[in-house]
Chains A and B, each alone.
Chain A
Amino acid sequence: MDLNYSAEDEAFRAQVRTFLAENLPADLQEKVRGHLRLAKEDYVRWHKIVAKQGWAAPAWPAEYGGPGWNAVQRHIWEDECARAGTPPILPFGVNMVAPVIMAFGNEAQKAHYLPRILNCDDWWCQGYSEPGSGSDLASLKTTAVRDGEHYIVNGQKTWTTLGQHADMIFCLVRTDPSVRKQEGISFLLIDMKSPGVTVRPIIMLDEEHEVNEVFFDNVKVPVQNLIGQENKGWTYAKYLLGHERTGIAAVGRSKRELLFLKRLALRQQKDGKPLLDDPAFAAKVANIEIELMALEVTVLRTIAQEHQAPGPQASVLKVRGSEIQQMLAELMVEALGPAALPFDPAYLEGESEHAAGGDAEAAPLAAYYFNLRKTSIYGGSNEIQKNIIAQMILGL
């Protein structure tokens, strides 16, 4: 057992740090570190910078333009990006639809979509969830009926993250209603500009437009946009679940937020002394820090077993990772006290330079806390993750 990074790993880390120091635009870094909301251009700008370096899709095989990194290197990359405060490379194209296209798409699909995903020429979103199917994904009702060289799609998707910017959506649709619910599903790529597609914003509890409903009203989709075989979509969707999921722990991001929290608690005063020196508050921070130390090792242990499928083990990472993110945000708000009350959406969206409440650091944090309540719900709620642990790992 040796828990140290190798000299090669450390050299790689240094290379990544140099790249980030030289290429991460200061305004983007400031936004990310300061919990401000990112615009479409922010995501695209950063994605293209990374793509130019050839690092936009760390997990892709080299033949499709991946950098050929091993799992530890990918972890270091994510860790350093989080530490620096880069915008995220959104997962919908690079980590979700691309692996499915690589594994099950035809040559024409690979040749067309993969380079465009790599370079962020198309903005992708995910069409899985429906109003009636949350955790019971396979119960989805959106239909696709074959009509000559097209499918006619009708139905509704929801919780479509950043779908308001999207050029393309990958969807699970029902192509055969007569068989068992998992067996009649297909995996379809749909152009968001197609006639009959309507996007309606869902405003979240922090008043952010982050997710959407997407309606399909007799949308004509060319049959060339079907991935793999008709009615095999559930297999492809499940394939994704076992894929590259240690990032879900968000350890790097939580490490950055822990430092932010500590700085905040040093700044905030209680009885004339820094709040971080208050034993009760310090104990809460220490508890999270220790949980995060443990989670980092648990992530590395999972990565070290990469020859085995990480599948259900990722559920452990998701549960704890999401809870840690939430606890950190909760403590930020607790540290602020009444200073967390003023809300200034214009400042959050980057439309005004000064926060209405006068405290730029504090201004986004209540919204941030509310926003992060999603982490234990999305991507399979934590209750579903516990079902997975109980059934897939423990055999209950």
Chain B
Amino acid sequence: MDFDFKEEQQQFADALRRWIDKDYSFEARRKIVHSGAGVSEQAWQTLVDLGMTALPVPEAQGGFNGSAVDMLVVMQELGRGLVVEPYFATVLGAHFLALAGGQEELLEKVAAGGLKLACALNEPHARHALNDIVVRATGSGKDFALSGMKSAVIHGAQAGALIVSARTGGDQHDTDGISLFLVDADTSGLVIKDCRTLDGQRVASITFDHAPATLLGSEGQGWPLLEAGADYGATLLCAEAVGAMDALFAATLEYLKTRKQFGTPIGSFQALQHRMADMFIHLEQARSMAMLAAAKVASPDAEERRRVVSAAKARVGQAATFIGQQAVQLHGGMGVTDELAAAHHFKRLTMIGLTLGDAQHHLERFAAQPGFREAA
């Protein structure tokens, strides 16, 4: 058993942190967030140069075949630094391509930094249920056409290609009959509407009107792929959240040591000390679960994967809500302004909670696994 990160992993993290400290400051980030594009080509190029786009891609496609633990280290830093570039969406998309197979050329492009991806998995009515799909796909072989609407597609307008879940059979809630597709962002029959989120990211609503699409994997058998990919995405988000919580916790601790009221640092007040201790316990428990998810997300035992990832997303989500809200409270009036990074970490943590299943959704999914009952 070993809980330390390898030297190369630490180097990745250090390189990212140096870049964020130097070039991706809070003010620099603010400019990017409020720019028309909402992302920075220059920042993207740096991520490419640092090897971040190659990291998760298989070696055969020019990548480093990085594990989820490698990605944990990276996502923590991006969470700490509140990076708003379309990295998570691209890595998740690449993971779907790798899982489905047959898209080696695109993966090479991703690794080299020439292609950004996004994953259109949500529908407006579906909340967190990834199997609740009404977008239809018609066609045969590999060539299909999609019709319907996807919503809250993270960095959907910044991507060159989309991974889309759609129905080739079955009823609205069935897990059978789901298929995954690849759609070129420039193709006909596609309307992409970009929108900011309060945490500085971008999401898109995407309308498909007979949009040409390429089948990924086997027709109607996309559900196991969709679930496995979403679990990988949830694992990345857990790591990002831990990084954001680390930063938020450190900022709050610093504030308690420097902010004075009644002639003494407010950190000397026991009510606030206990709040910090509670936050620390949440953070340590969340960190443990983010590590466990990274270690188990590639498990060949799908139930174990579901169980651990849902446990992690639920526990990290609870910690994120607690730490986020308390950090803002402890910052007092400053905590509810737009001026401090703390408020932005809180907002990011909140949005992570709403992405790929919130704490309640994952708690229910955890309890719905056969092992929850059978273990007794």
Contacts and interface: CB of A to CB of B under 8 A. Distances in A.
Contacts of B367: 279, 282-283, 285-286
Interface string B269-291: 01011101110110011101101
B376 A1 contact: no
Interface string B298-329: 00000000001001001100000000000000
Given A262-B375, A395-B257, A396-B276, A5 B284 contact: no
Looking at B69, B267, B273, B294, the one whose CB has the most chain A CB atoms below 10 A away is B273
Secondary structure call for the A interface = helix
A386 B274 contact: yes
Interface stretch (B2-10, B94-102, B159-167): B2-10
A297 interface: yes
Interface residues of A, number: 47
A389 interface: yes
A383 B291 CA distance: 28
B1 interface: yes
Interface stretch (A26-34, A169-177, A239-247, A287-295): A287-295
Contact of B289 (A1, A297, A390): A297
A293 B311 contact: yes
B280 A394 contact: yes
A396 B288 contact: no
Interface in A237-286: 259, 262-263, 265-266, 276-277, 279, 282-283, 285-286
Contact of B273 (A5, A279, A291, A387): A387
A277 B372 CA distance: 10
Contacts, number: 139
Given A319-B281, A389-B281, A3 B311 contact: no
Contacts of A265: 376
B112 interface: no
B126 interface: no
A301 B288 contact: yes
B285 A396 contact: no
A390 B311 contact: no
Contacts of A390: 267, 273-274, 276-277
Contact of A396 (B72, B273, B294, B375): B273
B274 A1 contact: no
B292 interface: yes
Contacts of A295: 285, 288
Given A276-B373, A316-B280, A396-B267, A293 B289 contact: yes
A308 interface: no
B240 to A, nearest CB: 17
A286 B5 contact: no
Contacts of A279: 364, 367
Contacts of B267: 390, 396
Interface in A1-40: 1-6, 9
Nearest to A72: B1
A360 B284 CA distance: 39
Nearest to A286: B367
A2 B291 CA distance: 10
A289 B362 CA distance: 13
Contacts of B272: 396
Interface in B334-367: 360, 363-364, 366-367
B106 interface: no
B295 interface: yes
A298 interface: yes
Given A262-B375, A286-B363, A291 B285 contact: yes
A89 interface: no
B288 A266 contact: no
A87 B46 CA distance: 59
A287 B5 CA distance: 29
A393 interface: yes
A297 B278 contact: no
A290 B311 contact: yes
Given A259-B376, A394-B277, A5 B285 contact: no
B257 A266 contact: no
B256 interface: yes
B285 to A, nearest CB: 4
Contacts of B292: 3, 293-294, 297
A304 B267 CA distance: 30
A157 interface: no
A290 B238 CA distance: 15
A285 B368 CA distance: 12
B318 to A, nearest CB: 8
Nearest to A303: B1
Contacts of A283: 360, 363-364, 367
A185 to B, nearest CB: 26
B187 interface: no
12 contacts: A2-B2, A276-B376, A289-B311, A290-B363, A294-B292, A297-B288, A319-B281, A393-B280, A394-B253, A394-B273, A394-B276, A396-B268
Interface of B: 1-6, 69, 72, 253, 256-257, 267-268, 270, 272-274, 276-278, 280-281, 284-286, 288-289, 291-292, 294-296, 308, 311, 314-315, 360, 363-364, 366-367, 372-373, 375-376
Given A1-B72, A283-B360, A387-B273, 11 more contacts: A1-B5, A1-B291, A3-B292, A3-B295, A262-B373, A266-B373, A276-B376, A279-B367, A301-B288, A385-B277, A389-B276
3 closest Cβ contacts across the A-B interface?
A: A262-B376, A390-B273, A297-B288
